Structure 1
Amino acid sequence: MPDYHDDLRLAHVLADAADAATMDRFKALDLKVETKPDMTPVTEADKGAEELIRGQLQRARPRDAILGEEYGLSGTGPRRWIIDPIDGTKNYVRGVPVWATLIALAVAGEDGHEPVVGVVSAPALGRRWWAAKGGGAYTGRSLTSATRLQVSKVSKVPDASFAYSSLGGWDEQGRLDGFLELTRDCWRTRGYGDFWPYMMVAEGSVDMCAEPELSLWDMAATAIVVQEAGGEFTSLNGVRGVEGGNAAASNGLLHGELLSYLRG
């Protein structure tokens, strides 16, 4: 198996730079916010963080491609860095600390690009999670000060905690009835949203989570962390990988039942 340790170290360096830039503008009274064509917000901090990461990658990994939420795809080749400069921009704009920079490295394979490195850095929460393929998943302040992540061992839906972002989107896909049935049958539900429920699945504090509509940059970094912590990450139709446009994540023991509720 290839060794991705150097790439993981680089991803941490990129996250450190992004953290400094995004925290500098968090809660700034003069923060500039625009509305994109899809009616979602984008701030100067989103653009600035992605530009910063792209600049460092172009120097450190000039042969690698880069895909980012704000500036699209540049470069070609089997290795592709996938960036969401601020996952949770609406929270960022309102001063809610639940947002993160997502940085992943994916390598081309038979079924599209597979994430092999992921860093999820949430500086306003003082948290960071990361993983590299075959090396496990961790959380902590740095590579040398970290705790290994492990998903829960909850095996029954009535004992399980389920997290989601919102009710929006489930009805449009014909999945609302199953979603509501799941919320009634499980032990606990919470609408944490964005990257956070996936990291809690990896930590074992939540047992399963799902979202009906996502982009590649929303999933690449979180997927490898969940998988390396021993969990499952698929589309709502059960396809492994991060190119299905939606996501279901669990501790693995509950995954079949989770999908049966949400298949639509």
Structure 2
Amino acid sequence: MTPSDTPRSRWSDLDRPPLNVPALRRGLLLPGGLWTSLDVVESTGSTNSDLARRAAGGLDAGTVLVAEEQTAGRGRLDRTWTAPARSGLFCSVYLEPDGVPAERWGWLPLLTGVAVATGLARAAGVDTALKWPNDLLVTVDGVERKAGGILAERAGNGVVIGMGLNVSLHAEELPSPTAGSLALAGAVSTDRETLLRGVLRSLEHWYGQWRAAGGDAAASGLQEAYAAGCATLGRTVRAQLPGDRTLVGEAVAIDGDGRLVVATPDGAREAVSAGDIVHLRGVAGGLV
């Protein structure tokens, strides 16, 4: 990892300036707050991998690690996530949900999705939809595009949650034709400091509510909020399940364990806890 809070080349790209670390710390590391430390590095392979390694040797809950550039970012199913330097938000946090039964920790990536979507609505003026279980969608030219993703993994005594979000990418910089960015979705702001503060404050709010309810997603309002923002519900989907099994049907609900409930044509319902989901009926007839 290369630290970025050095003054050299600070304004080498006026369209994509580096993050102001002292300002972020002043705004986010507050007495009694969730966040206990915040570091920004110029470049690293994966912020999730970095925090997971540190957590194995002991790490304070509330640690935040941000990268200006991520060269080997990881998504679900070992997919990679790369973008030009300072064009997005690449951030991981370490949390220890004391007092919450471990079987409810599976809600954390969904909770993070709700927090990111809520934070971006306020800070960027962009309607961000959630594709179960962990994709962030924006609408570009009437078509839903993936602009970000979330990855949670057990580490140390807690969980590392990472998020990658395309902020200022132009069309020619997108990693695939189905990708999008906040800029292409018409964001009123692509200032990454504003966006990061908004997302982390929203995450603190939702995490606090969820912990106060003992991890009960219904009592904390999380289950309802996720369902309200989930673009997967009401769609015909194809779920590629473990064991090379495929399930096709209508996504009808998110259950109390955060699983996607799929109704099949024969009238059966199956709760999916893990799998690769494809929207078969998307905006403008597209696949997501």
TM-score with structure 2 length normalisation?
0.25
TM-score with structure 1 length normalisation?
0.26
| Higher-helix-fraction structure | 1
Q: Please tell me whether Structure 1 or Structure 2 has the larger radius of gyration of its CA atoms.
A: 2
